[in-house]
């Protein structure tokens, strides 16, 4: 499943990079993708919204096995 998540993150990565940020997949376990926001996204006050409404929603639609995305 890690490969599927990596591929999906590649699709949304340009959106984060456009704002000076990036995302790294740390781990995938039991349907939970653990990610790390980098660059401008790391300290952004909107990072929680980015994870929940952006990354999590996108991954759940692309990969039904994903049940949650956590920032680490």
Q: What is the pLDDT of residues 51-65, one digit of tens each?
A: 999 999 999 999 999
Measure the CA–CA gap between 62 and 4, rounded to whole angstroms: 9
**Backbone torsions φ then ψ of 40, nearest 5 degrees:** -60, -25
Question: What percentage of the chain carries pLDDT values higher than 70?
Answer: 100
DSSP 8-class letter at 7 = H
Q: What is the mean pLDDT of residues 31-35?
A: 98
Q: What is the DSSP-derived secondary structure letter of residue 54?
A: I
CA 34 to the chain's CA centroid: 8
How confident is the model over 1-30, as a mean pLDDT?
96
DSSP class of 58: H
Q: Give the domains, in start order, of the chain with CATH numbers.
A: 2-71 (3.30.300.130)
Tell whether pTM > 0.85: yes
């Amino acid at each position: 499943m890690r490969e599927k998540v990596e591929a999906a993150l590649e699709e949304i990565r340009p959106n984060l990079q456009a704002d000076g940020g990036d995302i790294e997949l740390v781990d995938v376990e039991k349907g939970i993708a653990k990610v790390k926001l980098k660059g401008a996204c790391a300290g952004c006050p909107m990072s929680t919204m980015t994870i929940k409404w952006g990354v999590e929603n996108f991954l759940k639609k692309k990969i039904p096995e994903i049940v949650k995305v956590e920032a680490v």
